[in-house]
Amino acid sequence: MISITLPAGGAPIPPADDEKPFGNLGVDPHGSRRSRAVNAYLARVTWPIMLAAGRSHPLVTAQMIQRTRPGLNRTIERLSPPPSGTQVELVRETFRGGQIRGEWVTGRRAADPQPGTRIIYYLHGSGYVVCSPRTHRGLVARLGNRTELSAFSLDYRLGPEHPWPCAGNDAIRGYRWLLAQGYRAEDIVVAGDSAGGHLALDLLAVNHATRTPQPGSMVLFSPLYDPTFDLAVDNQRSGVHDPIINAVTARKILRLYTRTADPDHPRMRIRLTPEMTLPKTLIQYGSLEVMGADARATHDEIVGAGGVSVIQAWPDQGHVFQLMPRLSAEARQAVDTAARFITVTAPTRTEPAS
């Protein structure tokens, strides 16, 4: 078992000499001046909006989400455009009584997706109520370019229109659709951010329960562990001041999706156990974000179940900073690090005997 924690503001903690399968995954212990300036600006802009949403009635908050979602998504798309040469193939299929919606994203350096090749299965955030494969196309394409892998980015159903567990069911269906297409489980890299991290954990637990083979590796950016958001609220009350997210308001927004779901339901509070086969995992989060507690809880859950997890806290960074290379000077370095992790955790190919 390997657990490497990189604390904010300090030097990386190296693994023991016999535990170095992931190469150099260290991070700069100091954030950039640009990142600090951007975070200060975002805090002035987003916190008043978050506080206003937190004071409104839930029905009004739901209407605000539905009205502002298109504009917010377009803004993210402009701030995180895909690299030139990126090819996109939309997927709209019926599979096992449900819809498979998403897109294949192939960067100019990536091989076309086909069974027998390694691929990324991407599960986007945010909060189960906004964003889409289009908002995350730039991040997915950059990760694909650096790994030379194509990615299938899932377009799962969002709240408040589609309550829990619709998104989780879509993520499970999407994974099984990939297996049905002929992709081997060990060749699938599950990656996701924010709510996509919770979807990834749900996928692992359901795979175990249904005896479905697990993916080969996993990369999570600022993963959500506790969809009640109580963990993040407690983190905020301890003194963490996120430049973007007000935890109390975010908890209210998450309830537009979770609604009356039992917080202790095994698909809400996901538990990983030692008898599970778990993929090698890299977790990255920003040291400033209120969801840092969720990232650490995700790491602890994997390690506690006997899995392999590498966790990195990136100094002076906010939530899913990897999504915004124009705003965060560290975004490129973080994606490069994630790509190296994906590359070095590739399954070993066994050549048939001649």
C-alpha pair distances (Å), 261 with each of 2, 55, 60, 181, 182:
34, 23, 21, 33, 35
At 21 the pLDDT is 43
Rounded distance, CA 18 to CA 60, Å?
Answer: 56
At residue 351 the predicted structure's pLDDT band, cuts being 50, 70 and 90, is: low
> Phi-psi bin for 349: left (phi > 0), alpha (psi -120 to 50), beta?
beta
At 28 the pLDDT is 52
Look at 341 and 54; give whichever has higher pLDDT: 341
At 163 the pLDDT is 97
At 8 the pLDDT is 36
The answer to whether 23 and 31 are in contact (CB under 8 A) is: no
What share of the chain has pLDDT > 90, as a percent?
73
Identify the sign of the CA torsion 160, 161, 165, 170. negative
Identify the sign of the CA torsion 109, 112, 116, 121. positive
Q: For the ranges 46-55, 205-214, 225-234, 270-279, which has the lowest average pLDDT?
A: 46-55
pLDDT of 12 higher than 70: no
The answer to whether 292 and 227 are in contact (CB under 8 A) is: no
What share of the chain has pLDDT > 70, as a percent?
85
- Residue 318 is classified by DSSP as -
pLDDT of 45 higher than 70: no
Tokens of 47: 């916190």
The answer to whether 318 and 345 are in contact (CB under 8 A) is: no
pLDDT of 186 higher than 50: yes
> pTM score, two decimals?
0.89
Look at 68 and 219; give whichever has higher pLDDT: 219
CB contact burial 276-288 (16+ within 10 A = b; e otherwise): bebbbbbbbbbbb
pLDDT of 36 higher than 90: no
Closest CA to 249 of 39, 48, 38: 48
Per residue, what are the HEC states of 15-47? Answer: CCCCCCCCCCCCCCCCCCHHHHHHHHHHHHHHH
Task: Give the mean pLDDT of 205-222.
Answer: 98
Rounded distance, CA 257 to CA 318, Å?
Answer: 23
DSSP string, 74-126: HHHHHHSPPPTT-EEEEEEEEETTEEEEEEEEE-TTSPPP-TTS-EEEEE--S
Task: Give the mean pLDDT of 23-46.
Answer: 62
Per-residue pLDDT of 275-313, as tens digits, reads 999 999 999 999 999 999 999 999 999 999 999 999 999
The answer to whether 300 and 288 are in contact (CB under 8 A) is: no
Cα atoms in the 13 Å half-sphere on the side-chain side of 308: 17
Q: What is the mean pLDDT of the chain?
A: 88
Tokens of 328: 């965060």
Look at 352 and 5; give whichever has higher pLDDT: 352
Tokens of 198: 């919770």
At residue 162 the predicted structure's pLDDT band, cuts being 50, 70 and 90, is: very high
β-sheet bridge partners, residue 282: 219, 310
